[in-house]
Amino acid sequence: MTSTPAPSRAPFPVKRESALIGVLALQGDFAEHVAALLDCGVEGIDAIEVRTLAELDEIDGLIIPGGESTTIARLLIAFDLMEPLRARIRGGLPVWGTCAGAIMLANEVTNLDRPPIAAMDITVERNAFGRQVDSFEEDLDIAGMEGPPLRAVFIRAPVITRTGPQVQVLGRLRDGRVVAAREGRLLATAFHPELTPDRRMHALFAHMVLDRTPANAPASVRVESD
């Protein structure tokens, strides 16, 4: 009996052997994220700070750190990075926003005085815990994460008040409020995993970046000139 060879298939999804992850370094605690990425134990990951279009072109994934979302939004526009970044996200760039970064990713934000990047089908309420609890810690169960609950640090944190149909809730506070969610290649957390020694969130994002298919053209190519 003769056997015909199986038709060759496109090798998708492709797993990268290495990836360069950028951390948006306009404002906020970007240095801690770079250190956490380099320490997350996932092989093949390198990390750089991103402030320019050339650096944005180079990276395979991006973290938008915590800080002040009004300032980050203003500086993204001032550095001419807002539209190139939106274009790269449309092209499939994996992005993780933590705290102010999660605010930047949301399609809808309450109490933000300028437009966010608006890439993820979530609504986020800024400063959701009010004055009396500026900052607190809580243990969270994160969907798909092995091991003990994750200690999460919240600092003038937002909450995710609405998730679209394609958004997966990854973590909730004890009171049920959503503080971690994923939509495809986009990840949003209301807390600060770079401020605790546990590296599992950084490892999770590193795997999201390594698992992606090679679809990205550089931002400078993708932005329509006017």
Q: How far is the CB of 140 from ligand GLN (least distance, A)?
A: 16
Q: How far is the CB of 109 from ligand GLN (least distance, A)?
A: 9
| CB of 21 or CB of 73, closer to ligand GLN | 73
Phi, psi torsion values for 19, nearest 5 degrees: -150, 145
Q: Are 138 and 154 in contact (CB under 8 A)?
A: yes
Q: Which of 127, 196, 213, 220 binds ligand GLN (CB under 6 A)?
A: 127
Spatial separation of the C-alpha atoms in residues 97 and 107, rounded to whole Å: 13
Q: Which of 26, 103, 124, 180 binds ligand GLN (CB under 6 A)?
A: 103
Q: Are 183 and 164 in contact (CB under 8 A)?
A: yes
Question: Which amino acid is present at 127?
Answer: N
Which residue out of 55, 99, 183, 202 is catalytically annotated? 99
Give me 143's structure tokens.
């969907």
**Closest C-alpha to 101, from 189, 193, 197:** 189
Three-state DSSP state, 194 = helix
Which residue out of 40, 183, 192, 202 is catalytically annotated? 192
100 binds ligand GLN (CB under 6 A): yes
Name which of residues 154 to 193 contact ligand GLN (CB under 6 A): 155-156
Name which of residues 59 to 98 contact ligand GLN (CB under 6 A): 66-69
Spatial separation of the C-alpha atoms in residues 108 and 162, rounded to whole Å: 9
Q: Are 123 and 110 in contact (CB under 8 A)?
A: yes
**Closest C-alpha to 145, from 214, 64, 201:** 201
| CB of 45 or CB of 104, closer to ligand GLN | 104
Three-state DSSP state, 79 = coil
Q: How far is the CB of 169 from ligand GLN (least distance, A)?
A: 20
99 binds ligand GLN (CB under 6 A): yes
99 classed as catalytic: yes
42 binds ligand GLN (CB under 6 A): no
Which residue out of 55, 125, 183, 194 is catalytically annotated? 194
192 classed as catalytic: yes
Binding region for ligand GLN (CB under 6 A) out of 52-60, 83-91, 99-107, 140-148: 99-107
Spatial separation of the C-alpha atoms in residues 177 and 59, rounded to whole Å: 33
Residues that bind ligand GLN (CB under 6 A): 66-69, 99-100, 103, 126-127, 155-156
Catalytically annotated residues:
99, 192, 194
